[in-house]
Structure 1
């Protein structure tokens, strides 16, 4: 792996982080996670059972993984191209959802919309790396990643504003995704002074990445299985227990606000060890999942649990980005691997939880999901390599990699 000695980070645009956050909001919070928010309306229109709704969510997770693997292959060398794929698939898929007249077309559109998030993360991790000084890297990556929460807030607001007219909401989501993409492309300055010249990912490097990231891969997968309960079936749970549609949308807004507030956790995540931050965020996600299921009739408690879940989940995904940055040979590729594992876990969890709901009910299903979350922290996260990265890190990487406190 080779890089030019001239770093594009000196040409950082002050607006790139904002536009990157907006693209994460559009691809994750709206086009991908918005599915769970609008699932009650989708189920009424297309007659989806919990199992079928879970299967479709699993399918969207698989499509995400396909795009994330493509991002793993090309983001290190062509991040702008991968960013274009992120915005275009999210926009076209959302437009397809808005116009679908039958279940087959609707399902295909959901799968395409879900691909945008898989492309977005590796592309933006690399663009941030090229544009932002190394000393600000961890903080900026966490800030950009908090865009998920802002997107969920916007999705909840759209659900409240348009009511049963969900097609209008998804048409607007397509517009937001396209606008965010244009903003990222216009604010990226790395292309103007020469970027990196990394070689394409090889099978040898892929194997090295997998070995370096084996523990976080497993931790991310287990966490994904657990958190899928809230993301996919959470709003249906609230309405099934008697909460009004407007209030359930409000709970989703609270969830999104919690995710947005995660931007304030960026300094804390950057200062503390992965061992500490992973434990804290996963346990908080599990607690929120349990409370969410046990007290849907207590509106303030439900809103508080939703906000805690949004904060904890978003912060946990930021920990995965930092973990990849300090364990893998390339941050974009490593992040793709970990997020692929996370979403594969969500694919398994969405179907599993849907089946458990039909079998023994919401409360038991969510309690089981919370327990699965906790399995991801039974083995504490290892300390990063003393260089701050994996063994295969290049000299140039060591010169630019931000320091990570390794004391639990």
Structure 2
């Protein structure tokens, strides 16, 4: 199968599910809170639904993709993102908003495993690493787009979500046409068997699982509180705060080169370098959050390192679970999300007790610790 025929629709689907359906919510939350008169505790509960839905659907998607192939889950991911964004756009109350959040958050878990399976089925072996990491970099494009949306349409959050829903529908139709059925000529000789849903490779997966969990924990403070941190520490206007998010996304696109860097430097070196970079991003922000240049450098470093590291985890997982690409993506991405749930909860407590700077420094040290749990040669 031609590289661009699978990778380009894959990048856009990941951009919609992760960037628009999931990560845009935090940027639009102030306007949503004001419109729907939500308290901080209510908005916190609604926000947690993204993680809950993700954890459930990534398990579901891994199982079904293994049994039936990738097409159904990819289409379902696009449909879930479209319906979730549409419901969020028209939500008259917090209950319908919560349902939209569940659907939007669930789309991310549905999308990741089937693309790994699709690449393993329809891409030549030597192109699989690059294909997986470029599809994964779609998160960066989506985050950047959500930041631009916040800058241009901040007061009009319903219109913003309506536009995102229209984009999701277009990309759903593109993937519907681009992803072949398993019984077509593309995949007829490589149909996934139910027997492939096994934990073959699990003995080598311990370090992968621990690393994913620790990395999820260490990145949680940045994802959840970095924008609030700089907003309270410095004299930033709304454009600059949203621009901070755009920088995360734009530099995240560079994470698409992780496949090439893994090929040149090896998986262990790529993992260690990415972990140290993401740790330094948190430490740098802790040292000078009020400095515009430092804050933006930190954002760029975090965005690039985070997308790079998720690409590394993706390749590492597929190499460990060599007989099941969807499981190789599902396991580290699930544990990354679990780590972020735990990390976000503790970060809030730490910030209340010791402040933002100490918390970000602590989480930066967590990233350094993660660097020592990297892969052996796999």
| Residue of structure 1 equivalent to 2:29 | 39
| Residue of structure 2 equivalent to 1:280 | 273
Aligned: 1:260 with 2:250? no
The range that moved more, 71-80 or 99-108, is: 99-108
| Residue of structure 2 equivalent to 1:158 | 149
| Residue of structure 2 equivalent to 1:404 | none
Any idea what SS the aligned residue of 1:14 has? helix
Distance 2:29 2:39 in 1: 9
What are the equivalent positions in structure 2 for 1:257-336 lying under 5 Å apart? 257-328=250-321, 329-336=323-330
8 Å contact 2:87–2:96 — kept in the other structure? yes
The range that moved more, 236-245 or 80-89, is: 236-245
Distance 2:47 2:341 in 1: 7
Which 4+ stretches in 1 moved above 6 angstroms? none
What are the equivalent positions in structure 2 for 1:6-405 lying under 5 Å apart? 11-12=1-2, 14-45=4-35, 46-49=37-40, 53-76=43-66, 77-189=68-180, 191=182, 192-193=184-185, 194-195=187-188, 196-200=190-194, 205-241=197-233, 242-328=235-321, 329-384=323-378
5+ residue gaps, structure 2, are none
Q: CA deviation at 1:132?
A: 1.6
Query: Which one has a larger percent helix, Structure 1 or Structure 2?
Result: 2
Distance 1:98 1:124 in 2: 28
Distance 1:164 1:57 in 2: 19
Q: CA deviation at 1:53?
A: 4.7
8 Å contact 2:314–2:329 — kept in the other structure? yes
Distance 2:202 2:90 in 1: 40
| Residue of structure 2 equivalent to 1:395 | none
The C-alpha deviation readout for 1:201-260, integer Å capped at 9, x for no partner, is 67xx54435433221111101111111112122222222223211101011111101101
Q: TM-score, normalised by structure 1?
A: 0.85
Distance 2:39 2:372 in 1: 36
Distance 1:131 1:190 in 2: 11
Q: CA deviation at 1:331?
A: 1.3
| Residue of structure 2 equivalent to 1:399 | none
5+ residue gaps, structure 1, are 1-10, 385-408
The C-alpha deviation readout for 1:304-323, integer Å capped at 9, x for no partner, is 11011000000000001110
8 Å contact 1:13–1:189 — kept in the other structure? no
Q: How many residues align?
A: 371
Q: TM-score, normalised by structure 2?
A: 0.92
The C-alpha deviation readout for 1:360-382, integer Å capped at 9, x for no partner, is 32222222222222222233422
Q: 1:325 to 1:131 in 2, by over 3 A?
A: same
Any idea what SS the aligned residue of 1:164 has? coil
Q: How much is the aligned-residue C-alpha RMSD, in angstroms?
A: 2.0
8 Å contact 1:57–1:350 — kept in the other structure? no
